[in-house]
Structure 1
Amino acid sequence: MEILTSRAILRPADPDAALVFYRDVLGLAIAREFPGGTVFFLGDGRLEVSATPSGAPDGASGSGGGLRLWLQVRDLAAAHTELADAGVEVLREPRREPWGLHEMWIADPDGTRIVLVQVPPDHPIRRDVRGDRPQGSTSPA
């Protein structure tokens, strides 16, 4: 199976508040809109914010469930300042984690947790491991 793109789907209790948060506060660009929903560019993925019709077959609710969003930013300190200036509550201040990433936690109006991450230049996540495979290998190491 080949995955070409990905998307997180939110069905918030208040779609209008979520739309304002993702579009205006976080400044995500709109990929497309449709009746009852908006799809945002989210780095190399997508985020869909859509209303949940009453009695939806999937039992979706506005609780935010176990969904978490991981958003990589270029400058965590600048993101922290921008979000604080916009009145966003920071759940956990920026800090370097034991695994080497710089992280800060916020939540959207529905309580969905969002981690903002800055990857330092020397972090292994930046290394292209494709070159580490033996010659002629077509599968991941």
Structure 2
Amino acid sequence: MTISLHYCHVTVNDVEESLGFYRDALGLEVLNDVAQGEFRWVTVGSPDQPGLGIVLSAPHAGRSQADGDALQELLTKGVLPMIMFSTDDVDALFEKVRASGAEVLQEPTDQPWGPRDCGFRDPSGNMVKISQVS
């Protein structure tokens, strides 16, 4: 028996605006784009990791009003869990993402526990870290 991660969800205020970060700045590809009523779910992913998708959706998409309101409050506070990517060239990716206008939280830094990493906020305020793999 095997198990692997297939999808993870990132809550965003505006899916279209978030595509400017996840697709255009980070270089992920749109794998699926589904609209239902006023909501939209867009799945992005990397060809380097087939089978794993990141689903971008608004707080109220597919949720009750109360749950969507609670999630919106957490998103507004910037306290939702961060998402972490890895790359073989953190400095080059950092420059590409910074050039997109994304908010820089941390320039590339050699961490005492090993990796070189950097950090940004996506347009909705989610923390995104990028770590270099050797």
Q: Residues 21-56 of structure 1, C-alpha deviation per residue, up to 9 Å, x if partnerless? A: 212222211122211111111453321002343782
Give how far 1:108 is off. 0.3
Cα 1:66–1:51 shift into 2, 3 Å = closer
Distance across 2 between alignment mates of 1:29 and 1:54: 22
Q: Does 1:75 align with 2:92?
A: no
SS of aligned partner of 1:48: strand
TM-score (norm 1): 0.73
**Percent of pairs identical after alignment?**
26
TM-score (norm 2): 0.76
The one-letter amino acid paired with 1:39 is T
Q: Which has the higher contact order (CA 8 A, sep 6+)?
A: 2
Tell me which protein shows more strand as a share of its residues.
2
Q: Residues 84-106 of structure 1, C-alpha deviation per residue, up to 9 Å, x if partnerless? A: 22222211111111111111011
Cα 1:3–1:65 shift into 2, 3 Å = farther
Count of residues paired in the alignment: 120
Distance across 2 between alignment mates of 1:56 and 1:19: 22
Larger radius of gyration: 1
Q: Residues 64-99 of structure 1, C-alpha deviation per residue, up to 9 Å, x if partnerless? A: 542211100110110111122222221111111111
Which stretch has the larger CA shift, 19-28 or 102-111? 19-28
- Give the RMSD, CA atoms, in angstroms: 2.3
